[in-house]
């Protein structure tokens, strides 16, 4: 792949690639800003022919979608890049994955063959929350109380100051999951959460705050949170992979 930018004006975007990547292990503590820098460095090291914006301070054509909060692991993060030369998506995936640290893993890359934006396809996320020191029975009781409310007000400190908002309305599904058979040691209940993308966003820690408000549920240690999937929420409550349309079109073509 060539990384040289032609002289004069910036070359136009001739191909868009949509990428799914993960944040695992210690790399879940990577902030979005640090990850964005890591991606730019990886693109440079992998000689990806990235396109740039016009103007006096050109920026690489990279668009991130619904980044997970710092400290949260994820199996389904997405970004889109614009290229000034066509490449094989799988070769691009391999090159970027090799250039990123283990834990920031590029697991899929597909060519964008539709005109709608990737962000428009992401309307909900499914999360897995492991709650140390919480029994399955106490979690199930807390979930019933939470779902029994029409509104659960919680507070969060934002850049604009402390803000109060409803954590209940965005929750599509909330289920206490039985731990794996044969689990030993201290209790650690598991919560399965499906939440819509709304404004202001409702995050897993907001739902935990809501459980604390309605049921005084308090894990003995910080919850271990993983985004399992994100995509388009259907009327049946399922979440459709946002890359499905592009993948299917590529198979047809």
Domains delineated in the chain: 15-112 (3.30.70.580), 121-233 (3.30.70)
> Is residue 173 a contact partner of residue 237, using CB atoms and an 8 Å limit?
yes
The pLDDT, as a whole number, for residue 7 is: 47
Closest by CA to 225, choosing from 109, 105, 73, is: 73
CA dist 186 → 49, 117, 132, 208 (Å): 51, 45, 8, 20
- Whole-model pTM: value is 0.89
Can you tell me the distance from the alpha carbon of 50 to that of 55, in angstroms, rounded to the nearest whole number? 16
pLDDT tens-digit series, residues 127-176 = 999 999 999 999 999 999 999 999 999 998 877 788 899 999 999 999 99
Q: Average model confidence (pLDDT) for the chain?
A: 91
Does position 3 have pLDDT exceeding 50, yes or no? no
End-to-end CA distance of the chain: 24
Phi and psi, residue 116, nearest 5°:
-70, 155
């Amino acid at each position: 792949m060539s990384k040289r930018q032609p002289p004069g004006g910036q070359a136009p975007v001739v191909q868009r690639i949509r990428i799914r990547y993960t944040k695992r292990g210690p790399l879940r503590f990577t902030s979005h800003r640090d990850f964005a820098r890591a991606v730019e460095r990886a693109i440079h090291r992998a000689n990806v022919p990235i396109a740039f914006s016009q103007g006096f301070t050109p920026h690489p054509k990279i668009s991130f979608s619904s980044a997970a909060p710092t400290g949260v692991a994820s199996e389904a993060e997405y970004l889109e890049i614009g290229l000034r030369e066509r490449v094989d998506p799988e070769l691009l995936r391999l090159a970027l994955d090799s250039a990123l640290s283990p834990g920031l893993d590029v697991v899929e890359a597909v060519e964008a063959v539709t005109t709608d934006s990737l962000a428009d396809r992401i309307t909900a996320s499914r999360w897995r929350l492991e709650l140390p020191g919480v029994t399955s029975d106490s979690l199930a009781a807390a979930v019933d109380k939470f779902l029994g409310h029409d509104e659960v007000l919680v507070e969060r400190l934002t850049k604009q100051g402390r803000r109060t908002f409803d954590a209940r309305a965005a929750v599509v599904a909330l289920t206490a999951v039985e731990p794996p058979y044969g689990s030993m040691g201290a209790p650690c209940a598991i919560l399965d959460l499906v939440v819509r993308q709304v404004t202001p966003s409702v995050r897993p820690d907001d739902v935990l705050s809501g459980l604390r408000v309605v049921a005084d549920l308090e894990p003995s240690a910080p919850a271990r949170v993983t985004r399992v999937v994100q995509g388009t929420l259907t009327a049946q409550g399922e979440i459709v992979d946002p890359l499905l349309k592009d993948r299917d079109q590529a198979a047809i073509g």
